[in-house]
């Protein structure tokens, strides 16, 4: 009995050290969009839609408000596509889905494809410009490209030292933010193809995001520091997590989005937690745990995408479940 208690006590200690004392809230509601989980998922800027790359039925578009599947979006008839990345235009007029090297532009008004293109290399991340005219692609060949999504063709090539795992376009498509496997986050002038600012991290840069007013950027390294920084001078304004100690605030962020008024930042982690931050103070305002299929299972549920709704927040999990957070 004593040995059993000792084992249980050690397990509890390890769990506490790894996860911390959680005061996170539970979701107000959760709905299943993919039965056995998803390769990818993206929420639209106004939380109207969600794209899901399901393990079992390929790509699909959902109405988030009614939790209704609107269209099945697969790249070839009669086949289920492995959707590795997806994106929405800021005006929610278009969406794009990507397999390993195929890119399809979809019209959200009717669900029909308006462009089918091949990328120069494997697509790891993607974002869209207004009206779906251009796509920013993060590629495995150590480049990000600004791609004409309506007519085809590479308009700009942004060269990196390693694979480009995360990208974000400003709402006017004049700035591009990239994160690569060489531990760099870089802010680019899209028209001149020049680096404006660059930040170095201690690990692969998993996630980047730009604020709507283009004044703020978020960048996070895997199990490394996560920061809000100024796009004007490249200086770090707030460190949200760091690698100063083995446990504590050491996190991997998979998703991030600034609020429409730029005052808040919503983040999602690889371990299934969501945080709401003040961009002026860097303080955490709220936190949640998204729904897990098996609350006692060993597998974590990563947060693929987060978004702001009308008085609430949304988070899409790798388990294929969308969470409404209040």
Q: Is residue 250 part of a domain?
A: yes
Q: What order of strands is seen across the sheet that includes strand 94-98? A: 85-88, 94-98, 102-107, 113-118
The pLDDT assigned to 8 comes to: 34
Q: Is residue 22 part of a domain?
A: no
Q: Is residue 11 part of a domain?
A: no
Q: Is residue 83 part of a domain?
A: yes
Q: Is residue 23 part of a domain?
A: no
Do residues 103 and 117 touch, judged by C-beta distance below 8 A?
A: yes
pLDDT band at 308 (very low <50, low <70, confident <90, very high): very high
Whether the predicted pLDDT of 22 surpasses 80: no
Whether the predicted pLDDT of 121 surpasses 90: yes
- CATH number of the domain that residue 49 is part of: 2.130.10.10
13-17, 212-216, 246-250 — most confident range = 212-216
- The domain tally of the chain equals 1
Q: Is residue 321 part of a domain?
A: yes
The pTM score is 0.90
Alpha carbons 308 and 119: distance in angstroms, whole number: 31
Q: Is residue 19 part of a domain?
A: no
| C-alpha distance across the termini of the chain, in Å | 43
pLDDT band at 20 (very low <50, low <70, confident <90, very high): very low
**Ranges 74-88, 97-111, 283-297: which has the least confidence:** 283-297
Helix, coil or strand: residue 142 = coil
Do residues 242 and 225 touch, judged by C-beta distance below 8 A?
A: yes
Do residues 163 and 144 touch, judged by C-beta distance below 8 A?
A: no
Q: What order of strands is seen across the sheet that includes strand 313-317? A: 29-32, 321-325, 313-317, 303-308
The sign of the CA dihedral 207, 209, 215, 216 is negative
Q: Is residue 17 part of a domain?
A: no
Q: Which of 194, 159, 196, 211 is nearest to 180 (CA)?
A: 159
Domain that holds residue 75: 28-325
Please write the tens of the pLDDT for every residue from 37-68: 999 999 999 999 999 999 999 999 999 999 99
Please write the tens of the pLDDT for every residue from 152-162: 999 999 999 99
pLDDT band at 249 (very low <50, low <70, confident <90, very high): low
Mean pLDDT of 137-153: 97
Mean pLDDT of 233-261: 83
pLDDT band at 4 (very low <50, low <70, confident <90, very high): very low
Q: What order of strands is seen across the sheet that includes strand 264-269? A: 253-258, 264-269, 273-278, 284-289
């Amino acid at each position: 009995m004593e040995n059993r208690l000792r084992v249980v006590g050690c397990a509890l200690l390890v769990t506490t050290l790894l996860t911390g004392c959680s005061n996170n809230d539970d979701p107000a509601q959760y709905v299943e969009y993919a039965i056995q989980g998803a390769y990818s998922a993206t929420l639209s800027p106004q939380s109207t839609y969600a794209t899901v790359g399901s393990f079992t039925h390929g790509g699909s578009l959902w109405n988030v408000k009614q939790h209704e599947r609107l269209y099945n979006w697969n790249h070839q008839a009669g086949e289920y596509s492995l959707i590795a990345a997806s994106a929405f235009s800021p005006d929610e007029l278009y969406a794009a889905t990507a397999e390993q090297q195929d890119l399809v532009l979809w019209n959200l008004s009717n669900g029909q494809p308006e462009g089918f293109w091949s990328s120069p290399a494997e697509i790891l991340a993607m974002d869209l410009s207004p009206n779906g005219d251009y796509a920013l692609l993060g590629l495995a060949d150590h480049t990000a490209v600004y791609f004409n999504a309506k007519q085809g063709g590479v308009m700009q090539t942004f060269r990196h030292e390693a694979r480009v795992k995360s990208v974000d376009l400003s709402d006017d498509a004049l700035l591009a933010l990239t994160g690569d496997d060489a531990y760099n986050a870089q802010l680019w002038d899209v028209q001149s193809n020049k680096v404006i600012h660059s930040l170095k991290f201690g690990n692969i840069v998993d996630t980047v995001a730009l604020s709507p007013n283009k004044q703020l950027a978020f960048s996070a390294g895997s199990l490394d520091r996560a920061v809000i920084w100024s796009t004007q001078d490249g200086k770090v304004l707030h460190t949200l997590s760091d690698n100063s100690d083995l446990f504590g605030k050491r996190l991997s962020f998979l998703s991030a989005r600034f609020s429409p008024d730029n005052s808040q930042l919503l983040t999602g982690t690889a371990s299934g937690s969501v945080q709401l931050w003040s961009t002026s103070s860097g303080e955490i305002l709220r936190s949640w745990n998204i729904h897990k299929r098996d609350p006692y299972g060993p597998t974590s549920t990563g947060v693929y995408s987060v978004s702001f709704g009308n008085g609430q927040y949304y988070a899409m999990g790798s388990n294929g479940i969308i969470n409404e957070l209040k």
